[in-house]
Amino acid sequence: MSPIMEEILSDSNSILTSDEPLSPTLQPQRRLKSRPTTQISFDAYSSSSSGSSIKSFNTTPNKVDTGADYLLGLISKSNSNSATSSERTKISPFHNVKIGKRPHSKIMLTKEASSEEEELAQQNICIDSDVPLDNNGDDSIISRNDISVTLDDKEYSGYRRKYGHEDPQSITWSRHRKHFFILSSAGKPIYTRYGDESRISSYMGVIQAIVSFFADADDTIRCINAGQHKLVFLLKGPLYLVAVSRTNESEMQLRDQLSYLYNQIVSVLTTTQLTKIFEQRVNFDLRRLLGGTEPFLDNLASTMSDEPGFMFSSIQCVRMSKDLRDKVGSIMQSIKPKDLLYAMLITNNKLLTLLRPRKHSLHPADLHLVFNMVNGSSTFRSVESWTPICLPKFNNKGFLHAYVCYIASNVCLLFISPDKDKFFECSEAKNLLKEELSACNALQEIEKASQNEGYSIADIGVPGLRHFIYKSRTHVQYTSPAFVAPYGDPREKQKLYKLYCYTHDRMHSRLRPLKVHYYVSSTETILGWITCSFELYAVFGPLISKSALTSSSHTLLRWIKKEEESLFIVSSPVF
């Protein structure tokens, strides 16, 4: 055991303050203390240039107190005794691409009864929105703002989501544990995670009034704590994004999720177009331009609830041998089309390999948007696609163009180019890539690696270790084993993720960031450890001693170091 670990772990309350600057996503932000108020049931935290830390809603009781209570109604609806039966619509897209003309999508509709929600309502069971009721995986559709959509049913308008029938009067709507709302500065609803935007217009008006109340005082509202609920606000120019949550996620974590939702909208419109639209018309209904992108927003909102990469601002790579990864990278480099910016192979939200310019890297936030685009629709699996996309961290003012095609059952190829006329060159490069990968048997090996669920704790051989997440701060990538007992059950897996969220929040606390965090509960022990090169979150049994925990942690670090070249992309091919 190293002396520094012995000294730190000898006292579970001891801490070390990190002087290392964190990444922009994890950078601590100043949280101002609030002055107590006795006439209102919640505190509103805000950042103020004038030095005031709270604006009491009691200053205008007729205008704001009533509105605040009205807003809180969306998180405290009384439970009804019965539920109204409803129908859920499943959409199966068929996408036809014609080069030189606008592609068209034909949407076929089939209906089936929503028996899960009906049964839950009758049993009065609380719905946890972060644990899906089912996992069909086929309810997605791709429809961009440059795609004309023809409908078989003229009365149908837009994409119907799984919970699209819900509204504030629905028995299940208020039971969801986390809501996301996006509205314009004029109070126009743009997106809601559950329900239909047109049915929550009154709530959006209240949110807009609360934000305006602080803006009139040259202040910005950041967060409202109301009992078990947390309302987090993110104001991005003409857009207001709000998260209403009782998942115990911190304000910083929820705000990061709102940033990803904002980036998803920017990836469709760019900030230049977004700003220009609202400068010309403040009350513009943005849903007219975002029509068809709801599947991507929904998929992103759901994925952020159980995917560590968003919280850690990093990506996960497929575990494969360095020789195979280098071989694939060299082949991609030899067949790349001209004026290429990025080329990558991905599978199941994991990166296989990445080809990039020598002087340009790709931000993890942009990669998450690319993963979300590919996994948000099943249409990409059946056709070669050419779609515009804005990568906000690369350049939020303009579009790039992405060629998307599956070269194997579970392996997706992406070429990203600044030239909008490179579809045919990318298609020819794809054919050459498949031929060369098949000739050296690399394609079969890649497909086999993509179908592998990953390594297990048993492969590591660390006594007492149940699970871990390791982030390489050098490579901005993370690795984690497959979930096994006792975390094979979805609810136990969700509890473990919440424990990771809690530990991550303590380690990156705004007031007191830590280098080591040691936490013991009745069911497990977790160690959080941050250095200049890595972050480690390791879970053990509740009865493990500190000396055994330290020894096992060092054994785990030695194994990761040994397998580093297979777990991470250490040196991506460049051109």
Average pLDDT, the chain: 77
CA–CA dist 555, 575 (Å, integer): 37
pLDDT digits (tens, 9 = 90+) for 205-226: 899 999 999 998 889 999 999 9
Give the range among 12-16, 115-119, 173-177, 302-306 with minimum mean pLDDT.
Answer: 12-16
pLDDT of residue 29: 41
Mean per-residue pLDDT for 368-389?
91
Is-contact 130 305, C-beta < 8 A? yes
Give, in words, the CATH class of 173-310.
alpha beta
pLDDT of residue 324: 94
Give the range among 14-18, 23-27, 191-195 with minimum mean pLDDT.
Answer: 14-18
pLDDT of residue 159: 52
Q: What are the structure tokens assigned to 468, written together? A: 């871990």
How many C-alpha atoms does 125 have within 13 Å on its Cβ side? 11
Contacts of 531 (CB under 8 A, 6+ apart): 515
pLDDT of residue 235: 95
More confident residue, 556 or 201: 556
Give domain limits for the chain.
3-16+455-567, 87-151, 173-310, 320-451
Q: Hey, which bits of 18-59 come out as E strands?
A: 43-48
pLDDT surpasses 80 at 492: yes
CA–CA dist 183, 209 (Å, integer): 12
pLDDT digits (tens, 9 = 90+) for 152-162: 333 334 456 67
* Strands 315-316 and 189-192, bridge-based pairing: unpaired
pLDDT surpasses 70 at 122: no
Is-contact 347 60, C-beta < 8 A? no
Sheet of 178-184, strand order = 43-48, 219-226, 229-236, 239-245, 178-184, 189-192
CA–CA dist 528, 360 (Å, integer): 32
- What CATH code would you report for 3-16+455-567? 3.30.450
Do 173-310 and 320-451 share a fold? yes
Mean per-residue pLDDT for 394-423?
94
pLDDT of residue 442: 93
Contacts of 233 (CB under 8 A, 6+ apart): 211, 220, 221, 222, 223, 224, 240, 241, 242
- The candidate with the shortest Cα–Cα distance to 515, out of 503, 525, 524, is 503
Question: 320-451 falls under which CATH superfamily?
Answer: Dynein light chain 2a, cytoplasmic (3.30.450.30)
CA–CA dist 178, 242 (Å, integer): 11
User: What angle in degrees, to the nearest 10, is found between the helix axes of 251-269 and 294-303?
Assistant: 160
pLDDT surpasses 90 at 190: yes
pLDDT of residue 160: 62
Give the range among 305-309, 321-325, 379-383, 556-560 with minimum mean pLDDT.
Answer: 379-383
Is-contact 523 516, C-beta < 8 A? no
Highest mean pLDDT among 111-115, 304-308, 478-482: 478-482
pLDDT of residue 165: 75
SS3 18: coil
pLDDT digits (tens, 9 = 90+) for 448-463: 988 888 899 999 989 8
